[in-house]
A and B are shown apart, each in its own frame.
Chain A
Amino acid sequence: MTNMSVVGKSVERVDACEKVVGGKGFPVNVSLPGMLHGKMLRSPYPHARILRIDTTRAEQLAGVKAVITPKDVPQIPYNPMFFMPMTSPGLTRDMLMLSDTVRYAGQPIAAVAATTAAIAEHALELIEVEYEELPAMFNPEAAMREGAPEIHAGVKNNIRDTPSFAAGDIEAGFANADYIFEGTYETPRVHTCYMEPRVCVADTDTNGHVTIHASIQHLFGLRERMAYALGKPVSQVKVVQPPYIGGGFGSKLDMAYIEPIAALLSGKTRRPVRIEQTRYEDFITNGRHPMKVHLKTGVMKDGTFAARYASTVLDTSAYATHGPEVILVHAYFGLMLGYRSPHMKWEGKVVHTNNMPGGAFRGYGAPQACFAVESQIDEICEKLGFDPVEFRLKNTSRVGDPHPFNPAWKLNSYGFPDCVKLGAERIGWSARAKADSGSGTKKRGIGMAAHPLWVSGCVGFPDIYEHSGAIIKLNVDGTADLASATIDIGAGQNTTLCQIAAEELGLPAGAVRMSCGNTDSLPFDAPTHASRVTYSSGNAVKVAATAAKARLLEVAATVMDINISELDVRDGMITVKGLATPTTSVADIVKRAESPYVVLTAEGPVPTTLTEKGTIIGTSSLAPASNPSPATAQFVEVEVDTETGQVKVLRAVFAHDLGRVINPVGAQGQVEGGLQQGIGFALMENMLFDPDTGACLTSDFLDYKMPTAVEMPRQIESIFVETNEPTGPFGAKSLSEACLIVPAPAIANAIFNAVGVRVRELPITPEKILAALGKL
């Protein structure tokens, strides 16, 4: 592994050059001849029944080609999220493409296709709707109250799900504990803020088959969801792979309304229909679920956990969507399994309200959990006088510990202790002062938080797609085409996978190209979600590359009339054992494999062999053994202005065990971008809604505040602990989510260290700090 030539190098992103000169590959740029433009009419009421819709005037407007209302739409209840089979018994299917019951402000109730977007928008104003308003609830506590109106018929007290988890005897654990700590921690609804709006172009052919281009994170998920909601077989829906999309961060892990509606409008008009969401529509499509977490933790005098209890209320909003899954990931990986404890118990409630739908967002329930757990650990350490670094190390997993859901599988590699030690050393932990020991009005503090175990998107969770596939085809010019249904959402997935393929094939960096296919031509792949592509898709790509290389060497052995065991490939050349200089190139062998049986040369016709003929190709389709856990520790230094309550993050040090780094600059980019999202979550991001109408008040970037370049720390340091995961491609694990999971509690802990106040509700705004300091 030490002599790798492509893996471990910061090779240039495969799409960087194209993106800086225009980026024509974004789905937002797709345009087809004769294309119409769709717009959706959205309800101003958060809870209402539609009594009447009159579309006559809209249909009469010049340029309007189709109008659809609930009566034109298959009334097939579905769940929009991609990564579970739609027919899974555990899945709640409570959404309709267009329904005559509205459950949140902004829910679409009708749609128009017209020759221009402006005409479609005008037509929306001509649709007359009569609503019967119903009582709306925006707070889970109110929705759970006995006698509260049911948002979904039969869902008692609006509680959709009450999952739980227990290990050991929690009461005995607390009885035995030397100390008990309790606290409640709250996190708000925040948005992913991908930059490219959700957009799609759907085109229906003469057989009624739909082809769709869309800015989404899973090709096969969109195919399955659309087919189901439209009542078509999956073979009648084709989803085209974009070369890249303009960010996703989880939000594009479900079918929005636009995709099936564009398909219906296209079916009705037999013309392509494009729908691009406005930023307001993007904001209300989905967001991170707000959660309220109560922790009760028993601790022994030696600083080990005696018992850990947690309960969570998750606002799953108008529809179930991801809520019942998010709360499980939140509880298992976020709350419970990161630290050892002999006795554990968790109880969750997934509650409907009339808020906008929740969705996936990088970390999938873990940021809400990590904020609670990591804040409380520091509270415990402060009270009992433990060093937060030592306390965490004492209570985490060890190499060889069993996988939480896959008992046959162990923690093979676990670099968490090194992450903590190296991070602490880099930030200068040993010189950290006691809480609130500074003077003056600007006080500095250092804090840390960890995410010791993270296996989201893994084998072992019920009914979750995990398999991946790849096709690798060698070209006569010595390059290779890689086909994988993975979508590059910005994190550099295509570059990483091309590096893995090039390394395995023995080709130079840049000689492998990601081609773009569609759901008809590509093997299935799970979504670009969780922290999985480098590991799971990477393994599939490596296996396909191994197969392609084996065939390449087989052909080379035939052509060169030499034993295959004598041959290898390096840097695009076929090498022979014992010979210093390669005798032939990959390109020459591929040319020969693809040549006619008799090759015409200057010297005359030369017969070849049949066994060498054919495209040199390797394929794979497989499920990975599991998804090994990356581990993370983060350290931050903040400055708190005690006069204004403002917090500046001055410095951040991240240490990650990611097995092996495939592309260091790409990995640093993940860390730095995750920090931006984490600082936003910690200090400023919060979706606000009108308390009476439920209307979103933060639906553009002027009202929804996220960190700009000014709010980011000047120093961000990434430490990568390479543990060489034996089941990973070239030792790699995945990385993405942890980068956003840890910053909020690290910042909260640093704020405590600076000024001695503990804020248990995000975002930690200046007002909350001043209030905690007794200045408001």
Chain B
Amino acid sequence: MKQLVTLEVNGETQEFAVEPDTTLLGVLRDHLGLMGTKRGCDSGGCGCCTVHVDGKAVYSCMTYALSMQDHKVTTIEGIGTDTERDPLQSAFVKEGAVQCGYCSCGMIMTAKQLLANEAKPDEEAIRHGIAGNMCRCTGYHKIVAAIQSVANS
């Protein structure tokens, strides 16, 4: 039985009719076509689906859409575009932190919250901060360097 939920996504408030078990990830990808938020595991284990809810990084696959009534959601599309990239997006490109890129958007969303909480995290804080986001290509080395470069700028 579908129910209505109103939430704000990237500054735009919309109403959605969703099943009780529809996740925020499902709304973003299937209803809004916001494909930057990826489904990697559907069980809160990989971090590819990370978005911000009221400024806090969450796994959208572990968040029911109905629990998002009146909350503000920001996705990767909400923080930058190809012509106006967020500094983290630019740093990931510049530092070679992107390989297959499937984890990149979730990783950037996590990093963005990390930098919002702590302006100048050291390497250990960065590594622990992104430990909930899996990457199988890069060994994280250049991802950490990219986040550090933004923290230091």
Chain A residues engaging chain B, CB cutoff 8 angstroms? 10, 12-13, 15-24, 26, 28-29, 118, 192-197, 244-247, 249, 276, 278-279, 489-492, 665-666, 668-669, 671-677, 700-702, 706, 708-710, 712, 714, 716
Interface 1/0s, chain B 117-153, versus A by CB < 8 A? 0000001001110111111111111111000000000
Q: Are A672 and B141 interface neighbours, CB within 8 A?
A: yes
Q: Are B138 and A672 interface neighbours, CB within 8 A?
A: yes
Interface 1/0s, chain B 95-129, versus A by CB < 8 A? 01011111111001000000000000001001110
Q: Are A22 and B134 interface neighbours, CB within 8 A?
A: no
Partner of A279, one of B41, B94, B144: B41
6 pairs from A and B in contact (CB 8 Å cutoff)? A20-B92, A21-B80, A23-B35, A193-B136, A673-B99, A706-B134
CA distance A708 to B94 in the complex (A): 22
Q: Are A246 and B96 interface neighbours, CB within 8 A?
A: no
Query: Which chain A residue has the least Cβ–Cβ distance from B19?
Result: A118
- Complex contacts, A17 vs chain B, CB 8 Å: 82, 85, 93
Partner of A709, one of B98, B101, B144: B144
CA distance A709 to B36 in the complex (A): 22
Partner of A673, one of B44, B48, B123, B137: B137
CA distance A708 to B99 in the complex (A): 16
Partner of B105, one of A10, A22, A28: A22
Q: Is B60 an interface residue (CB 8 A)?
A: no
- Complex contacts, B99 vs chain A, CB 8 Å: 247, 490-492, 669, 673
Q: Are B140 and A712 interface neighbours, CB within 8 A?
A: yes
Given the known inter-chain contacts A26-B102, A702-B43, please indicate yes or no for A21 contacting B134, CB distance below 8 A.
no
Given the known inter-chain contacts A490-B101, A709-B127, A712-B139, please indicate yes or no for A197 contacting B39, CB distance below 8 A.
yes
Q: Are B100 and A16 interface neighbours, CB within 8 A?
A: no
Q: Are A279 and B42 interface neighbours, CB within 8 A?
A: yes
Q: Are B76 and A21 interface neighbours, CB within 8 A?
A: yes
- Complex contacts, A118 vs chain B, CB 8 Å: 19
Please indicate which of the listed interface residues B46, B77, B104, B136 has the most CB atoms of chain A within 10 Å of its own CB.
B136
Q: Is B38 an interface residue (CB 8 A)?
A: yes
Q: Are A247 and B76 interface neighbours, CB within 8 A?
A: no
> CB within 8 Å of A: which of B13-38?
19, 34-36, 38
- Shortest C-beta distance, B46 to chain A (Å), equals 5
Please indicate which of the listed interface residues B34, B130, B141 has the most CB atoms of chain A within 10 Å of its own CB.
B141
Q: Are B36 and A22 interface neighbours, CB within 8 A?
A: yes
- Complex contacts, B34 vs chain A, CB 8 Å: 22
- Complex contacts, A28 vs chain B, CB 8 Å: 38-39
Q: Is B50 an interface residue (CB 8 A)?
A: no
Given the known inter-chain contacts A29-B35, A709-B126, please indicate yes or no for A20 contacting B101, CB distance below 8 A.
yes
Interface of B (DSSP majority class): loop
Q: Are B92 and A16 interface neighbours, CB within 8 A?
A: yes
Query: Which chain A residue has the least Cβ–Cβ distance from B93?
Result: A16
Chain B residues engaging chain A, CB cutoff 8 angstroms? 19, 34-36, 38-46, 48, 76-77, 80-82, 85, 89, 92-94, 96, 98-105, 108, 123, 126-128, 130-144
- Complex contacts, A29 vs chain B, CB 8 Å: 35
- Shortest C-beta distance, B68 to chain A (Å), equals 19
CA distance A700 to B108 in the complex (A): 22
- Complex contacts, B108 vs chain A, CB 8 Å: 20
- Shortest C-beta distance, B74 to chain A (Å), equals 13
Partner of B138, one of A15, A278, A669: A669
- Complex contacts, B140 vs chain A, CB 8 Å: 672, 676, 708-709, 712
Partner of B137, one of A26, A490, A708: A490
- Shortest C-beta distance, B54 to chain A (Å), equals 22
Listed from nearest, the 6 A-B pairs whose CB atoms lie closest are: A490-B100, A701-B45, A19-B101, A246-B102, A22-B36, A672-B139
Query: Which chain A residue has the least Cβ–Cβ distance from B84?
Result: A21
Partner of B40, one of A20, A279, A673: A279
- Complex contacts, B89 vs chain A, CB 8 Å: 20-21
Q: Are B96 and A666 interface neighbours, CB within 8 A?
A: yes
Partner of A21, one of B36, B41, B100: B36
- Shortest C-beta distance, A743 to chain B (Å), equals 10
- Shortest C-beta distance, A280 to chain B (Å), equals 9
Partner of B100, one of A247, A702, A708: A247
- Shortest C-beta distance, B65 to chain A (Å), equals 13
Given the known inter-chain contacts A195-B136, A669-B137, please indicate yes or no for A246 contacting B80, CB distance below 8 A.
no
5 additional A-B pairs beyond A20-B89, A701-B41, beta carbons within 8 Å, are: A16-B101, A18-B82, A22-B77, A490-B137, A677-B136
CA distance A490 to B104 in the complex (A): 12
Partner of A20, one of B19, B42, B98, B136: B98
Q: Are A196 and B100 interface neighbours, CB within 8 A?
A: yes
- Complex contacts, A193 vs chain B, CB 8 Å: 134, 136
Given the known inter-chain contacts A278-B42, A666-B96, please indicate yes or no for A195 contacting B139, CB distance below 8 A.
no
Q: Are B100 and A195 interface neighbours, CB within 8 A?
A: yes
Q: Are A672 and B142 interface neighbours, CB within 8 A?
A: yes
Q: Are B101 and A700 interface neighbours, CB within 8 A?
A: no
CA distance A668 to B143 in the complex (A): 13
- Shortest C-beta distance, A700 to chain B (Å), equals 4
- Complex contacts, B77 vs chain A, CB 8 Å: 21-22
- Shortest C-beta distance, A216 to chain B (Å), equals 13
Please indicate which of the listed interface residues B44, B98, B134 has the most CB atoms of chain A within 10 Å of its own CB.
B98
- Complex contacts, A702 vs chain B, CB 8 Å: 43-45
CA distance A249 to B135 in the complex (A): 13
- Shortest C-beta distance, B11 to chain A (Å), equals 17
Query: Which chain B residue has the least Cβ–Cβ distance from A29?
Result: B35
Query: Which chain B residue has the least Cβ–Cβ distance from A192?
Result: B136
CA distance A632 to B101 in the complex (A): 27
CA distance A85 to B99 in the complex (A): 30
- Shortest C-beta distance, A473 to chain B (Å), equals 25
Given the known inter-chain contacts A29-B35, A192-B136, A672-B138, please indicate yes or no for A279 contacting B98, CB distance below 8 A.
no
- Shortest C-beta distance, A109 to chain B (Å), equals 23
Query: Which chain A residue has the least Cβ–Cβ distance from B136?
Result: A193
- Complex contacts, B133 vs chain A, CB 8 Å: 708
Q: Are A279 and B100 interface neighbours, CB within 8 A?
A: no
CA distance A718 to B102 in the complex (A): 24
CA distance A639 to B50 in the complex (A): 33
Given the known inter-chain contacts A20-B85, A21-B80, A702-B43, please indicate yes or no for A676 contacting B139, CB distance below 8 A.
yes
Q: Are A195 and B131 interface neighbours, CB within 8 A?
A: no
- Shortest C-beta distance, B18 to chain A (Å), equals 11
Partner of B141, one of A16, A244, A712: A712
CA distance A201 to B29 in the complex (A): 16
- Shortest C-beta distance, B94 to chain A (Å), equals 8
Query: Which chain B residue has the least Cβ–Cβ distance from A490?
Result: B100
Given the known inter-chain contacts A247-B102, A714-B123, please indicate yes or no for A21 contacting B137, CB distance below 8 A.
no
